[in-house]
């Protein structure tokens, strides 16, 4: 069922506009310009602290959500890898909400963390793609993603659908906390509804990204830089590249480069910079210039405005549509997925079944 696609991963990348729209449909009321969770018998307004637990790509979706929950709802968020959370004797707040994010709903560490939180009296919310999974069954508040079955080991469409749900949840939370006016809520809904078209616009760069894969394929190390909600995207980009192309890659918060990793930079290390124009753009660009001054080769992913300002002298650029910062993490996921995909194809690896990995990690 790969259709005309060479791999499931590519098919799933291209399904994103459709499945994100599908997911948003069950969280937004476009006519009323409101957010609406599928299950509303839980009063989220009493929650004063959120604990997010997940693994891998789902963890990075949780990292993005932390920015959103704190920015919109002004509620503090703790986030941890499930495998760390379980063993660090976390202090859980009374009446707290524990949020688990998982494509499969079966990841052993995440499931064990969920059971621990349940035993500790937390309310359990789950963002999950498999509706029949253990996590879905054990949740108090089930927030399904409607990505459809994800076959490729590298998670793609599940991630953007998780982000769509988490953005809606953050907005709902903010409304219930009295932090968003109806006009602000309407604005958020409008921006989220722009996501599918913007994902399509990002996908239109597929061939161009395929053509630049040979620039990255010979590298031994690759760095990804981002700031704010796009910092987790840098981590996600690095994870995607590692897992399917076997190139060592690291994601860094752009401002953290000069505290060590900049020592790695030379002509042989491509640096992928995720920098949508917006409040953090100038800061990220100045970190990019520091890299360039050390001979680093930059691939800048930005919009027309950003590329106009900082695109010159880069090894390559990828132009994204101009988007509201809220949906930038969804849209910028596409070029990092495509870049990893095409580099892996160029290297001839088994894209859908990379070595040493399983789709669902059910061992601890």
Hey, which residues are catalytic here?
A: 359
The nearer residue to ligand M6R, 155 or 160, going by C-beta atoms, is 155
The nearer residue to ligand M6R, 165 or 188, going by C-beta atoms, is 165
Q: Does 133 bind ligand M6R (CB under 6 A)?
A: no
Helix (H) or strand (E) segment spanning residue 337: helix 328-347
Q: Classify residue 309 as exposed, middle or buried by CB count within 10 Å of its CB (0-12, 13-18, 19+).
A: middle
Cβ–Cβ under 8 Å, residues 308 and 176: no
Cβ–Cβ under 8 Å, residues 346 and 214: yes
User: What is the phi-psi region of residue 249: left when phi exceeds 0, alpha when psi lies from -120 to 50, beta otherwise?
Assistant: beta
Binding positions for ligand M6R, 57-86, rule CB under 6 A: 57-58
Q: Does 104 bind ligand M6R (CB under 6 A)?
A: yes
Two tokens at 178?
């009295």
The nearer residue to ligand M6R, 183 or 363, going by C-beta atoms, is 363
Q: Does 110 bind ligand M6R (CB under 6 A)?
A: yes
Q: Alpha-carbon distance 136 to 125, whole Å?
A: 9
Q: Which residue has the tokens 């695109």?
A: 311
What SS3 class is residue 127?
A: strand
The nearer residue to ligand M6R, 11 or 292, going by C-beta atoms, is 11
Q: What is the DSSP letter of 296?
A: P
Which residue's beta carbon is nearest to the bound ligand M6R? 56
Binding positions for ligand M6R, 255-314, rule CB under 6 A: none
Q: Alpha-carbon distance 114 to 124, whole Å?
A: 7
Size, binding site for ligand M6R by CB under 6 A = 16
Q: Alpha-carbon distance 36 to 138, whole Å?
A: 22
Q: At its nearest, how many Å lie between ligand M6R and the CB of residue 110? A: 5
Q: Does 17 bind ligand M6R (CB under 6 A)?
A: no
Q: Which residue has the tokens 């291209």?
A: 14
The nearer residue to ligand M6R, 55 or 139, going by C-beta atoms, is 55
The nearer residue to ligand M6R, 134 or 277, going by C-beta atoms, is 134
Q: Alpha-carbon distance 54 to 12, whole Å?
A: 21
Contacts of 320 (CB under 8 A, 6+ apart): 198, 201, 202, 205, 276, 301, 302, 303, 331, 332, 335
- Which residues, listed in sequence order, are joined to residue 50 by a DSSP beta bridge? 77, 97
Q: At its nearest, how many Å lie between ligand M6R and the CB of residue 117? A: 15
Q: At its nearest, how many Å lie between ligand M6R and the CB of residue 311? A: 29
Q: Does 102 bind ligand M6R (CB under 6 A)?
A: yes
| Cα dihedral: 288, 293, 295, 297 (round 10) | 20
Q: Does 154 bind ligand M6R (CB under 6 A)?
A: yes
Q: At its nearest, how many Å lie between ligand M6R and the CB of residue 236? A: 8
139 phi and psi angles, rounded to 5 deg: -80, 150
Binds ligand M6R (CB under 6 A): choice among 9, 77, 153, 331: 153
Q: Does 245 bind ligand M6R (CB under 6 A)?
A: no
Q: At its nearest, how many Å lie between ligand M6R and the CB of residue 29? A: 28
Nearest partner of 8 among 205, 157, 145, judged by Cα: 157
Q: Does 361 bind ligand M6R (CB under 6 A)?
A: yes
Q: Does 51 bind ligand M6R (CB under 6 A)?
A: no
Q: At its nearest, how many Å lie between ligand M6R and the CB of residue 364? A: 12
Q: Does 243 bind ligand M6R (CB under 6 A)?
A: yes
The nearer residue to ligand M6R, 156 or 287, going by C-beta atoms, is 156
Question: Site residues (CB under 6 A) for ligand M6R?
Answer: 55-58, 102-104, 107, 110, 153-155, 239, 243, 360-361
């Amino acid at each position: 069922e790969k259709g005309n696609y060479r791999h499931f991963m590519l098919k799933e990348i291209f399904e994103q506009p459709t499945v994100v729209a599908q997911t948003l449909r069950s969280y937004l009321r476009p006519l009323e310009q409101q957010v609406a969770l599928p299950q509303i018998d839980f009063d989220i307004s009493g929650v004063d602290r959120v604990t997010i637990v997940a693994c891998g790509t789902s963890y990075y979706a949780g990292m993005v959500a932390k920015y959103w929950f704190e920015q919109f709802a002004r509620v503090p968020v703790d986030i941890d890898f499930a495998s760390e959370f379980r063993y660090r004797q976390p202090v859980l707040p009374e009446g707290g909400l524990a949020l688990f994010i998982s494509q499969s709903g079966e990841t052993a560490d995440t499931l064990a963390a969920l059971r621990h939180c349940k035993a500790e009296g937390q309310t359990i919310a789950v963002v999950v793609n498999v509706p029949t999974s253990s996590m879905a069954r054990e949740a108090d508040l089930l927030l399904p993603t409607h990505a459809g079955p994800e076959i490729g080991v590298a998670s793609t469409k599940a991630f953007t659908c998780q982000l769509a749900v988490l953005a809606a949840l953050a907005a709902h939370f903010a409304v219930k906390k009295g932090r968003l006016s109806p006009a602000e809520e309407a604005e958020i809904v409008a921006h989220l509804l722009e996501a599918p078209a913007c994902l399509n616009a990002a996908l239109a760069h597929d061939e161009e990204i395929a053509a630049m894969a040979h620039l990255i394929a010979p590298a031994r190390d690759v760095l990804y830089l981002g700031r704010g909600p796009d910092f987790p995207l840098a981590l996600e980009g690095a994870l995607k590249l590692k897992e399917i192309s076997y190139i060592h890659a690291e994601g860094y918060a752009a401002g953290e480069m000069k505290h060590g990793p900049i020592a790695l930079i030379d002509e042989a290390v491509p640096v992928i910079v995720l920098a949508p124009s917006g409040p953090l753009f100038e800061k990220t660009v100045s970190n990019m210039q520091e890299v360039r001054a050390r001979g680093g080769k930059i691939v800048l992913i930005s919009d027309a405005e950003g590329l106009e300002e900082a695109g010159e002298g880069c090894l390559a650029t990828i132009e994204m549509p101009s988007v509201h910062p809220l949906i930038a993490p969804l849209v910028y996921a596409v070029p990092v997925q495509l870049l990893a995909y095409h580099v892996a194809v160029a290297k001839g690896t088994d894209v859908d079944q990379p070595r040493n990995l399983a789709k669902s990690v059910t061992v601890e």
